[in-house]
Amino acid sequence: MRPDLPPINPALATARTSDLAGALRRQALLILVCIVVGAGLGFGYTKATKVSYESKATVLLEPLPGDKPPGGGLERTLDVETQATVARSTALLQTIGERLGLSAVQVKQKSHVEAAPTGNVLYIFYDDDKDTLAATGALVYTEEYLALRKSTADDLAKRQQALLTTQIDSLQDDVTRLTAEIQAKVNSEDVDSSTDLEVLQQQLELAITNAATLREERARIDTDQNPGRVIVDPRTAVNQAGLDSKFAIAGGGFIGLLIGVLLALLRDRRDDRYGSAMDLSSLGIREIGSVRQPAPQRSARGDTVRRAYARLVVRLSLFNGISGSGHRSVLLTAVESNTMAPNTAHAVASALVDEGPENGIDSRMLQSEAGPTLVEGDTTPSWDHFAGVLAATSNEADVVFVTALSLDRSASALAIAPRVDQVVLLVSPATKLRDLQTAVADIHSVDARDVSVLVVRRGHGLSR
């Protein structure tokens, strides 16, 4: 039985975390998905919500004749709340709608009026889907309101003038009548009429005084009233409610990027695959190269694949064997069979043997998948006899590649490991580091001399 699974080396996690760029590169697909999802959510938000613009006009009102007195000591000289109510009158909304091409109801829905907390200030708001229309609506609303306020005040002043003129004309008639009566009394030379004459003269003086007073009052009446002025132009006070589609998509993509980076780092930190490991030396593992899964026939292998196997066979034949001679034996076995094909070791060994002759190397392959061999006349399987066969073959070749079943399926590799010069563990990028650590520990437990790792990749990636 195999020993308990060794814990993952903490140094590996530290090395992987420090390689930020590498982690992001390995998890690029996850980050891309998060960006696309974030941008999609931003786009969906723009469709689900309405972007609108609100323009605000700030109007400073001037006190006019007829305005109600203010209340509450809010630094006011007129009742601004009443003016806010006047600004929502149906007649005014109808006039504004005629200029904007809308009904009074539509204008009322798009606008609202508020009295400022202090001062004679009134705020007029107008909403629309376009910023220019919002500004135009607030400007038209303000103009019509001030025009209405001015016309109302001017009409009141004119009515007051007319009333005073009527009173003055009446007094003027009294003056004419009294003057005539006084003249008649004077011409009559009636001594008894002296008292009546004094009364008539007093009435005449009073009428003349009252008429003069009314003329002065009429002269003071202004028929061109100042209703107020705009102190903040609505065209310069337009605010957007909701996000623009471009900003929403860009913002969603950016948030997706941040989330993707965070998830990528978390996922990479928890990633226990060989292809994600950055510092294999911390595991005590030496990688001798990376090749692609070879095709069964040499003619079907690309030039890049053949060159990779040619370099590898030369590298494996450079060291001396057990006896110090130039003959070597190398065991090839897969760490696991979940992410690698069952015949991976045999396929790799076949490709190495095929590239040997063209590089001046006599290479052979010896299969141990059938288990220990039998001595003639002896029915007991013996790995020692297999070792003899291996030694005999090694004496005839520069390098002998021994293949064995994967370590998760058979213990034959453990029996052969101490009898060869080098053990090459085959892994795929998806092989779990825990499985590799277990395999390395098992191989070292039987006193194997030299243990290294060869990465066998699938697909169309280039071999190195």
Mean pLDDT (whole number) for 419-434: 89
Query: Residue 371 pLDDT more than 70?
Result: no
* Predicted local confidence at residue 105, as pLDDT: 94
The amino acid at 85? T
Weakest mean pLDDT among 20-24, 62-66, 289-293: 20-24
Weakest mean pLDDT among 66-75, 106-115, 225-234, 415-424: 66-75
Crossing angle (nearest 10°) for helices 90-100 and 131-188: 130
Confidence of residue 164 (pLDDT cuts 50, 70, 90): very high
* Predicted local confidence at residue 24, as pLDDT: 79
Task: Please answer whether residues 153 and 174 qualify as being in contact, where contact means their C-beta atoms are separated by less than 8 angstroms.
Answer: no
| pLDDT top residue among 50 and 423 | 423
* Predicted local confidence at residue 123, as pLDDT: 95
Task: Please answer whether residues 286 and 280 qualify as being in contact, where contact means their C-beta atoms are separated by less than 8 angstroms.
Answer: yes
Q: Nearest to residue 268, comparing CAs of 461, 30, 34?
A: 30
Q: What domains sit in the chain, N to C, each tagged with a CATH number?
A: 20-49+243-270 (no CATH), 52-241 (3.30.1890), 278-457 (3.40.50.300)
CB environment 411-449: b (16+ within 10 A), e (fewer): ebbbbbbebbbbbbbbbbbebbbebbbbbbebbeeeebe
The predicted-structure confidence for 434-443, as pLDDT tens digits, reads as follows 888 888 889 8
Query: Residue 420 pLDDT more than 60?
Result: yes
Give the count of alpha carbons within 13 A of 267, CB side only.
16
In this structure, is the dihedral angle defined by the CA atoms of residues 148, 149, 152 and 154, taken in order, positive or negative? Answer: negative
Mean pLDDT (whole number) for 376-404: 76
Mean pLDDT (whole number) for 167-174: 92
* Predicted local confidence at residue 126, as pLDDT: 95
Mean pLDDT (whole number) for 65-70: 76
Task: Please answer whether residues 59 and 141 qualify as being in contact, where contact means their C-beta atoms are separated by less than 8 angstroms.
Answer: no
* Predicted local confidence at residue 7, as pLDDT: 46
User: 0.75 cut: is pTM over it?
Assistant: no
Mean pLDDT (whole number) for 205-232: 90
Confidence of residue 5 (pLDDT cuts 50, 70, 90): very low
Confidence of residue 197 (pLDDT cuts 50, 70, 90): confident
Q: What are the tokens at 130?
A: 């376009």
Mean pLDDT (whole number) for 421-446: 89
* Predicted local confidence at residue 277, as pLDDT: 65
Q: Nearest to residue 368, comparing CAs of 333, 339, 403, 334?
A: 403
The predicted-structure confidence for 314-370, as pLDDT tens digits, reads as follows 888 776 444 445 678 899 999 998 888 888 898 899 989 888 888 888 888 988 765
Q: Provide DSSP, 300-333.
A: GS-HHHHHHHHHHHHHHTSS--TTSSS-EEEEEE
* Predicted local confidence at residue 410, as pLDDT: 83
* Predicted local confidence at residue 25, as pLDDT: 78
